[in-house]
Structure 1
Amino acid sequence: MEAIITQLQTLALTDALPFLLKAMGALVLWFIGRAVITGFRRVLNLGLQKRQFDSTLIRYVESLFSGSLTILLLLGILGMMGFETTSFAALLAAAGIAIGTAWSGLLSNFAAGVFLLVLRPFRVGDEINAAGVSGIVQEIGLFATTIDTGDNLRISVGNNRLFSDNITNFSHHPHRKVVVKLPLIHGQDVHGLMEALKARVAEVPGVLAKPAPGIEVVEFTALGPVLAIGAYVVPTQAGPVTGAIALATEETLIASGYMVAPPSLKDSLAKAG
């Protein structure tokens, strides 16, 4: 019995005690490492918020930062405990390559989403046209952007397709120009009609006084000149104000006694031209 007790004491001193000391050291290292990671994460969050980065991007960067440092911390703890970490690191690298190859399309959308959040070609609430979709941006996700169209349809567009296409942002500037074209026939008082239209369009609700509305001849056809009635509006009111300008144009034409050429005359003039 004494020999067994002696062997157990020797085993405890040679194996168990060093293992317990390593385990206690690993536990202390874990708590210290997590505290340091949490502190760095808070500093990173404050720095990104100070630079006014998007909240979605801030959460992503925080998670990526915390996850990467936690993996490094675990590898350090395993190495301190005596485990071989080289094969484990190689396994992680191989898994990363396999996942990247399998999810190449998803990762391209992810990368494009990060660029959209950093470069900010548009924001939530902006009206844009990109990737064949026009509407109001509702959400900029890491993989897809959600857009509500004018006919109340919700469309999710992959960020890679969105980022690789031309993006037209209708809401970027404080005002937007809308244009209504008016074809005329020969024989009309063009200058008088232009002055009347300019005065009438300036009275349309939603038309900005500065920059002032403008009317010019943009084309000259066989039937007659074509006027372009341009006015500046708030971007969100572009559709309604365009309709109001068209209605005001019709009222002005009726009040001035403007006559529309008969279809037969139009056809003959068009053929002659």
Structure 2
Amino acid sequence: MDFQEITKVAIALLTTFGLKVVGAILLLFIGLRLIEFSIRLLRRTFRSQQIEPTLINYLLNIISVTLRIVLIVAILGFFGVETTSFAALLAAAGIAIGAAWGGLLANFAAGAFLIIFRPFQVGDFITAGGVTGTVTEIGLFTTALNTPDNVMTIIANNKIFADNIQNFSANPYRRVDLLAQLAHEVDHNQAIALLKARLMQIPNVLDNPLPDVEVLTFNLAGPVLAVRPYCHNQNYWQVYFDTNKAILETFGEAGFSVPEQRYTVNASANGAHPFIPAPS
């Protein structure tokens, strides 16, 4: 075979390979544009159905990654690469990555379950993973909360999903639990009546259900009242602090004595100290 024939064969091979490269680039470009168009179309469709925004992001991310993998496999098949072998290699790589990133994938799965079961939403005030705060974001792997002292706290989704979740925003109202100490000589019925009347004057205290004021327990200082007004979640701390002030002011205006712990020590009949044995 002379040099001219070798040149012709090389040019033919390079031309064929070049056309395949150009075709692959065009296929990649067109495929990516179609994927982006499909994702935008799906996003509009999901939003028109009023689906949770975080769930939309989850679904679109999964669909986008899946379509890109299919596109890459198609391009490899265009070059004559055995796609079944590639699929097996991809599955093996997935298993290896899954073993290495087990915690990360667990957080991803937990995040998906949080979106599906929706124990809370963005804006809810919750306790989850040992943290109490307002939900600002439910991400793929973590959830962000703003604590009452305005500290952004990031919690792994798996920790949230594996623990108890308290959602204070789920119900239309919640109860404020406070205590009021009475002295022994104070008439508890009078104290209860005064507190109930005063609680109804506090802004944002609900009249349905009515506030609860009852004798809860006793100690050395006297009876202890349970003071429990109800309010909407967004008014909790305002009602909490106003109720404390109402207790203080109500008892002061009524002239109730300050509670004191009292002990009674009785001497024995022969005058000996009760804790020292009398001489025989």
Relative to structure 1, the CA distance from residue 30 to residue 146 in structure 2 (aligned partners, 3 Å threshold; closer, same or farther) is closer
Residue 139 in structure 1 maps to residue 137 in structure 2: yes
Q: Distance in 2 between matches of 1:83 and 1:128?
A: 52
The residue that corresponds to 1:126 in the other structure is 124
TM-score, normalised to structure 2's length? 0.78
- What root-mean-square deviation, in Å, do the aligned CA atoms of Structure 1 and Structure 2 show? 3.3
What are the Cα deviations for residues 142-188 of structure 1, in whole angstroms up to 9, with x where unaligned?
A: 22222222333332111111121111122223322112112334443
Correspondence list, 1:26-175, <5 A: 33-34=31-32, 37-38=35-36, 40-175=38-173
The residue that corresponds to 1:235 in the other structure is 233
Stretch moving more, 25-34 or 174-183: 25-34
Paired residues of 1:223 and 1:266 also in contact (CA < 8 A) = no
Stretch moving more, 50-59 or 4-13: 4-13
1:152 is paired with a residue whose SS is coil
Q: Distance in 1 between matches of 2:91 and 2:264?
A: 73
Following superposition, the deviation at residue 113 of structure 1 comes to 1.9
Q: Distance in 1 between matches of 2:69 and 2:147?
A: 43
Q: Distance in 1 between matches of 2:256 and 2:204?
A: 26
1:124 is paired with a residue whose SS is coil
Consecutive unaligned residues of structure 1, counting only runs of 5 or more, are 269-273
Q: Distance in 2 between matches of 1:107 and 1:7?
A: 54
Consecutive unaligned residues of structure 2, counting only runs of 5 or more, are 267-280
What are the Cα deviations for residues 231-260 of structure 1, in whole angstroms up to 9, with x where unaligned?
A: 122212212321111111111112222123
2:256 equivalent among 252, 255, 258: 258
Following superposition, the deviation at residue 230 of structure 1 comes to 1.4
What are the Cα deviations for residues 102-143 of structure 1, in whole angstroms up to 9, with x where unaligned?
A: 111111112212222333222233221122211222322222
1:211 is paired with a residue whose SS is coil
Relative to structure 1, the CA distance from residue 4 to residue 219 in structure 2 (aligned partners, 3 Å threshold; closer, same or farther) is same
Stretch moving more, 135-144 or 97-106: 135-144
1:227 is paired with a residue whose SS is strand
Kindly indicate which of the two structures has a greater share of residues assigned to helix.
1
Paired residues of 2:221 and 2:260 also in contact (CA < 8 A) = no
Relative to structure 1, the CA distance from residue 166 to residue 249 in structure 2 (aligned partners, 3 Å threshold; closer, same or farther) is same
Q: Distance in 1 between matches of 2:123 and 2:101?
A: 30
Stretch moving more, 215-224 or 17-26: 17-26
The residue that corresponds to 1:271 in the other structure is none
Paired residues of 1:53 and 1:118 also in contact (CA < 8 A) = no
Aligned length: 266
Which of structure 1's runs of 4+ aligned residues deviate more than 6 A?
A: 3-13, 15-25
Relative to structure 1, the CA distance from residue 9 to residue 190 in structure 2 (aligned partners, 3 Å threshold; closer, same or farther) is same
Paired residues of 2:221 and 2:262 also in contact (CA < 8 A) = no
Relative to structure 1, the CA distance from residue 267 to residue 182 in structure 2 (aligned partners, 3 Å threshold; closer, same or farther) is farther
Question: What amino acid sits opposite 1:134 in the alignment?
Answer: T
Stretch moving more, 84-93 or 238-247: 84-93
Paired residues of 2:220 and 2:261 also in contact (CA < 8 A) = no
TM-score, normalised to structure 1's length? 0.80
Q: Distance in 2 between matches of 1:247 and 1:73?
A: 67
The residue that corresponds to 2:276 in the other structure is none
Following superposition, the deviation at residue 197 of structure 1 comes to 0.7
Paired residues of 1:179 and 1:231 also in contact (CA < 8 A) = yes
Q: Distance in 1 between matches of 2:194 and 2:26?
A: 84
What are the Cα deviations for residues 194-242 of structure 1, in whole angstroms up to 9, with x where unaligned?
A: 1111111111123233333222223345654332111122212212321
